[in-house]
Amino acid sequence: MDPLEHAEAPHRRTREKGAENLKPGCWPPWSRFSSWLECVCVVTFDLELGQAIELVYPQDVKLTEKERTSICYMSFPDSYSGCLGDTQFSFRLRQSVGQKGSRFGPEDTYNRDAPVTLQREVAHYYGFVYFRQVKDVSVKRGYFQKSLVLVSRLPYVNLFHSLLQLIAPEYFEKLEPCLEAVCNEIDQWPSPVPGMTLNLPVMGVVMQVRIPTTNDKLGGSPLRQSQKENLLPAPMVLPTIHELDLFRCFQSLLIHIQMLWELMLLGEPVVIMAPSPTVSSETVLALVSSISPLKYCCDFRPYFTIHDSEFKEYTTRTQAPPNVILGVTNPFFIKTFQYWPHVIRLGELKMSGDLPKQLKVKKLAKLKTLDTKSGVYTAYKTFLHKDKALIKRLLKGIQRKRPSEAQCAILRRHLLELTQSFIIPLERYLASLMPLQKSVTPWKTPPQIRPFSQEEFMGTLEHAGPQLTSVLKGDWMGLYRRFFRSPNFDGWYRLRHKEMTQKLELLHLEVICEADLQLWLKDKSEVEIVDLVLKLREKLTKACRQQLPVKDEVLEKLECRIQMVIGSLPEDLQTVLLRH
């Protein structure tokens, strides 16, 4: 890897990894763009039509009428907001029924290698919005109101909002050619690959990001701009593509962190009422990420409006509130959601002395009038006691002017350790359900994974419970019991079960590889041998289709063995088998 390997004076050539120098036109148009974004649209306010999509790239993007309408509504602040200037927020919408799913199938290598919380959405889109509202006498309404929206299946909230900050102001000034140029530049970006650090050139700037992988050490330090002072023009290094400033998002809720974490863990129905779409969407996304590395498996809407296509479904009074978290701004919702079990009403941030004023827990019955005060409206009692030391440390940090990043890191670490303390006993128990390695034998189908028994699991807690890693006291057992009924448990269990099944399959392949085939073949009939060949082939195809991490040597060896078995058969059978 000596950069001077092909040296020739005086301007010596050096080796450059070619990925970013692919000639435009070497790949189908929009193919690289689509690995990042579904589309980019401009939503404007038309006096006759209301909100309308003015411009969309790629022009032939497949969006249903319903999806277009949703994007239009969710790209504008829902209720009158006096905020002039630029606003950024995010939304999430459900893909219409009948719409073709993601072109990235379930066996997408990105989703295999990315952390579960960063996987590509299969049935939802994210919208990342940059909304501009300024006085403009040349417009009938007196205001210029427009949104630039990035629609993606990737939850890269930080990356896409940073991108918007670069491109939106330029777009509003230079219009269509600017957007065309940006889309073309994104179409030259290398596709996101977990574990890779990528240079993403756009509008004369090179953004540098690292895509996390499922193998990352948790709680490790993010990408740092190490040579910042020496590099001109520096690449713009984003420390993270997806993490929000949890501390800022939870400033007025610090004393309720334990409750928030439990509500998220249990997938409880929660409504966030916020003064702006920005606060609403950031709070919802921060909450959803608070149980990471566990995936929040319920629906969540960072910014939900009365125009949302799921409005009726989610607000019907005939059923119990669904397991979703909704972020809203319209005061109209107070009435709609007064029967929901948990409503967090955020106001403008108030200070008491030098500390952000903490919201109080209030009775749900008080949630009736439009001028309802901010507060946490719930009857929920936490299973675990809150970590008073953490709250004290964070509040002290504010007084001592500890940087926001450091506060955020403390909070993130606390949440991570809490989630891990909760999940490790489950992981350990699940591992014990796996059949013993020695019970996997070549000529039998692999043994079954034992079923998950809640009672058996509870029995393990006494000796191997969360008390080993967490100092928090309280009703851990009760928390587990509630968790078993939540969609988050279901999602976690299904994923793990799938992984274990694949692991078992992998083990089986390896055992077959090592088996003494000659010995087995000795007293077998032709039918049995043909059957073996077909079974082995099926296994190989399945392994490839599921992209099991089979070692190349195992694959080769197995291929070799199949050939050997075929070779042991009479010639007519050989031709038949080789033809298939």
User: Could you tell me which residues come within 8 angstroms of residue 405 by beta carbon, excluding any fewer than 6 positions away?
Assistant: 245
User: Mask 154-173, x = binds other proteins (CB under 8 A)?
Assistant: ----------------x---
Decide the pairing of beta strands 270-273 and 236-237.
unpaired
Decide the pairing of beta strands 205-210 and 236-237.
parallel
What span, in angstroms and rounded, lies between the C-alpha atoms of 219 and 224? 14
The encoded tokens of residue 460 equal 């393990």
Task: Output the smallest distance, CB 213 to other proteins, in A.
Answer: 13
Q: Which of 49, 97, 137, 232 binds other proteins (CB under 8 A)?
A: 232
Residue 233 interacting with other proteins (CB under 8 A): yes
Task: Output the smallest distance, CB 568 to other proteins, in A.
Answer: 46
Q: Which of 227, 445, 448, 453 binds other proteins (CB under 8 A)?
A: 227
Residues that bind other proteins (rule: CB under 8 A) add up to a total of 44
Q: Which of 69, 121, 201, 452 binds other proteins (CB under 8 A)?
A: 201
Binding span for other proteins by CB under 8 A among 148-156, 224-232, 414-422, 432-440? 224-232
Nearest to other proteins of 30, 125 (CB atom): 30
Task: Output the smallest distance, CB 24 to other proteins, in A.
Answer: 6
Nearest to other proteins of 109, 197 (CB atom): 197
Question: Cα dihedral angle (186, 153, 499, 424), rounded to 10 degrees?
Answer: 100
Nearest to other proteins of 43, 183 (CB atom): 183
Q: Which of 229, 354, 455, 571 binds other proteins (CB under 8 A)?
A: 229
Q: Strand pairing partners for 327? A: 272
User: Is residue 51 within 8 Å of 76, Cβ to Cβ?
Assistant: yes
Nearest to other proteins of 2, 516 (CB atom): 2
User: Is the link from the previous residue into 58 a cis peptide, with omega within 30 of 0?
Assistant: yes
Q: How many Cβ atoms are within 10 Å of 24's Cβ, its own excluded?
A: 11
Residue 12 interacting with other proteins (CB under 8 A): yes
Q: Which of 5, 24, 101, 518 binds other proteins (CB under 8 A)?
A: 24
The encoded tokens of residue 538 equal 């099926």
Q: Which of 5, 19, 218, 373 binds other proteins (CB under 8 A)?
A: 19
Binding span for other proteins by CB under 8 A among 3-11, 42-50, 273-281, 303-311? 3-11
Task: Output the smallest distance, CB 208 to other proteins, in A.
Answer: 8
What span, in angstroms and rounded, lies between the C-alpha atoms of 272 and 254? 15
The strand ranges marked E within 220-283 are 236-237, 270-273
User: Mask 114-153, x = binds other proteins (CB under 8 A)?
Assistant: ----------------------------------------
Query: DSSP secondary-structure letter at 21?
Result: G
Identify which of 251, 269, 297 has the alpha carbon closest to the alpha carbon of residue 117: 297
At which residue do the structure tokens 């209301």 appear?
50
As a whole number of Å, the end-to-end CA separation of the chain is 44
Cβ density class 127-145: b for 16+ within 10 Å, e for less: bbbbbbbeeeeeeeeeebb
What span, in angstroms and rounded, lies between the C-alpha atoms of 354 and 356? 7
User: Is residue 537 within 8 Å of 561, Cβ to Cβ?
Assistant: no
Task: Output the smallest distance, CB 206 to other proteins, in A.
Answer: 7
Q: Which of 215, 230, 318, 319 binds other proteins (CB under 8 A)?
A: 230
List binders of other proteins among 171-190 (CB under 8 A): 174, 177-178, 180-182, 184-185, 188, 190
Residue 203 interacting with other proteins (CB under 8 A): yes
Nearest to other proteins of 11, 100 (CB atom): 11
Nearest to other proteins of 65, 229 (CB atom): 229
Task: Output the smallest distance, CB 43 to other proteins, in A.
Answer: 22
Sign, Cα dihedral of 565, 569, 575, 579: negative
* Rounded alpha-carbon distances, angstroms, from residue 359 to 36, 225, 336, 377: 38, 36, 22, 10
3-state secondary structure of 50: strand
Residue 204 interacting with other proteins (CB under 8 A): yes
Residue 231 interacting with other proteins (CB under 8 A): yes
List binders of other proteins among 33-72 (CB under 8 A): none
> Which residues form the interface with other proteins (CB under 8 A)?
1, 3-4, 7, 10-14, 16-17, 19-21, 23-25, 170, 174, 177-178, 180-182, 184-185, 188, 190, 196-199, 201, 203-206, 208, 227, 229-233
